[in-house]
Structure 1
Amino acid sequence: MIVERIWTGNSYRNYNYLIACPETGEALAIDPLDHEKTLNTARVRGWQITQILNTHEHHDHTGGNAAVVAATGAKVIAHHLAGSSIAGMDRGVRAGDIIKVGKTVELECLDTPGHTMCHICLRSHTEQPALFSGDTLFNAGAGNCHNGGNVVDLYTSFAEQLSKLPDNTQVYAGHDYIENNLKFTLAREPDNAAAKALLPEVSGHDPANTIVTTLGEEKQFNTFLRLTSPGVIAQLRQNFPDLPANPDPQTVFTKLRELRNTW
């Protein structure tokens, strides 16, 4: 499996992705908002885009579909309940469905509601596992629930699915928010050594060439994966004095998301 991360350079700080089969040159485009960069990257690499996967229905992830389909004839894949909100969808997928790319690439669909209720993450069946997490899991952060989402469902997607993936899983998120997210981590857990060490590395970085984190690394500096940390809980109690002595992880996640909404 070959992964090409495409930095759009737009105000939303989107990443688009191409996943290609090295044997056939067939490629899957994930959320190809910047259709020009996506098509040009495929052209330069000698790949043929045969499929598009939208992680969810928001326009900054679907806006390039029509142009890529017009240029390539690619089939559009998304959550099986997203047909009314994603025009021209050809295939609706559910949890456990497999998307094949060429002869060698298999990607498993994870149904991960929360950011929206029709959100798909992709998990690769490869020796080096990868997760294409859309707007559910960000590098050092978590998606918001402002536009059709639900914070309890987002927590459940984290707790019951994403956090249980292998620690060496590489995390390919839908946006570059890592610098700001690490600053939020340090506001919530000032003594977090991993966040302190990484922040200078990504401050003022070129998003086109920034690091790719692993899930194991995320568990060290992503506050939304550190729900039982005494430091996180102690700091949270300063904002929410009525927090129980031993709050459950869902409560911690919900309160962190509430703070992040206005941070």
Structure 2
Amino acid sequence: MIVERIWTGNAFRNYNYLIACPESGEALAIDPLDHEKCLNAARVRGWQITQILNTHEHHDHTGGNAAVVAATGAKVIAHHLAGGRIPGVDRGVKAGDVIKVGKTVELECLDTPGHTMCHICLRAHGDQPALFSGDTLFNAGAGNCHNGGNVEAMYATFADQIAKLPDDTRVYPGHDYIENNLRFTLAREPDNAAAQSLLPEVAGHDAASARVTTLGEEKQFNTFMRLSSPSVIAHLREQFPELPEAPDAKTVFTKLRELRNTW
């Protein structure tokens, strides 16, 4: 499996992705908003985009579909309940479904509600596991639930699915928000050494060449994966004095998301 990460450089700080089979040259485009960059990257690499996967229905992830389909004839894949929200869906997928790309690439669909209720993440197994996480998991953060989402569903996605994946899973999110997310981490957990160390590296960084994190690293500096940290809980209580002495993880997650909404 070859992964081409495409930095759009737009105001929304989107990442688009091409996943290619090295044997056949067939490629899957994930959320190809910047269709020109995606099509050009495929041409340069000699790949043929045969499929598009939309992680969810928001326009900054689906807006390039029509142009890519017009140029390549690619089939559009999305959550099986998102067809009414995404024009031209050819295949609706559910949890456990497999997307095959060329001869060698197989990607497992995870049904990951929270940011929206029709959100798909893709998991690549193998020697180098990877997660294409859309707007569910960001570097050092979690997606918001403003536009058709649900924070309780997001917590369940993190607790029941994301957190249980192998620590060496590489994380490929839909946006670059790492600098602001790390600042949020340090506001909630000022003694987080991993966040303190990483922030200078990413402050003002070039998102096009930013390194890819792993889930093991995320568990060190992503506040939404540190729900039992005494420091996180103590500082959260400063904002929410009514918080019980030993709050459950779901409550901590929900309160963190509430604070992040206005950060």
Task: State the TM-score bracket (shorter-chain normalisation).
Answer: over 0.9
TM-score, normalised relative to structure 2: 1.00
Superposed CA deviations along residues 45-103 of structure 1, whole A, max 9, x for unmatched, are: 00000000000000000000000000000000000000000000000000000000001
Residue 18 of structure 2 corresponds to: 18
Residue 191 of structure 1 corresponds to: 191
Superposed CA deviations along residues 213-253 of structure 1, whole A, max 9, x for unmatched, are: 00000000000000000000000000000100000000000
Q: CA deviation at 1:40?
A: 0.1
Q: What is the correspondence of 1:196-235 to structure 2 with a 5 Å cutoff?
A: 196-235=196-235
Q: Does residue 1:180 correspond to 2:180, yes or no? A: yes
Greater CA drift, 121-130 or 60-69: 121-130
Q: Distance in 2 between matches of 1:261 and 1:143?
A: 10
Give secondary structure in 2 for the equivalent of 1:246.
coil
TM-score, normalised relative to structure 1: 1.00
Q: Distance in 2 between matches of 1:192 and 1:2?
A: 34
Q: Does residue 1:45 correspond to 2:7, yes or no? A: no
Q: What is the correspondence of 1:135-154 to structure 2 with a 5 Å cutoff?
A: 135-154=135-154
5+ residue gaps in structure 1?
none
Superposed CA deviations along residues 165-209 of structure 1, whole A, max 9, x for unmatched, are: 000000000000000000000000000000000000001100000
Q: What is the correspondence of 1:127-138 to structure 2 with a 5 Å cutoff?
A: 127-138=127-138
Residue 249 of structure 2 corresponds to: 249
Contact map agreement 1:16 1:33 (CA 8 A) in 2: yes
Residue 167 of structure 1 corresponds to: 167
Which 4+ runs in 1 deviate beyond 2 A?
A: none
Q: CA deviation at 1:161?
A: 0.1
Q: Distance in 2 between matches of 1:210 and 1:179?
A: 11
5+ residue gaps in structure 2?
none
Residue 70 of structure 2 corresponds to: 70
Contact map agreement 1:5 1:18 (CA 8 A) in 2: yes
Task: Give the aligned residue type for 1:195.
Answer: A
Q: Distance in 2 between matches of 1:178 and 1:106?
A: 28
Give secondary structure in 1 for the equivalent of 2:50.
strand
Contact map agreement 1:77 1:93 (CA 8 A) in 2: yes
Q: How many residues align?
A: 263
Give secondary structure in 1 for the equivalent of 2:244.
coil
Q: Distance in 2 between matches of 1:127 and 1:99?
A: 18
Contact map agreement 1:105 1:125 (CA 8 A) in 2: no
Q: Distance in 2 between matches of 1:156 and 1:176?
A: 23
Task: Give the aligned residue type for 2:199.
Answer: L
Q: Distance in 1 between matches of 2:41 and 2:200?
A: 30
Contact map agreement 1:228 1:249 (CA 8 A) in 2: yes
Q: CA deviation at 1:126?
A: 2.1
Give secondary structure in 1 for the equivalent of 2:43.
helix
Give secondary structure in 2 for the equivalent of 1:52.
strand
Q: CA deviation at 1:163?
A: 0.5
Q: Distance in 2 between matches of 1:201 and 1:240?
A: 32
Work out the percentage of aligned pairs sharing the same amino acid. 83
Q: Distance in 2 between matches of 1:204 and 1:59?
A: 27
Residue 27 of structure 2 corresponds to: 27
Residue 57 of structure 1 corresponds to: 57
Q: CA RMSD in A?
A: 0.3
Q: Distance in 1 between matches of 2:125 and 2:262?
A: 37
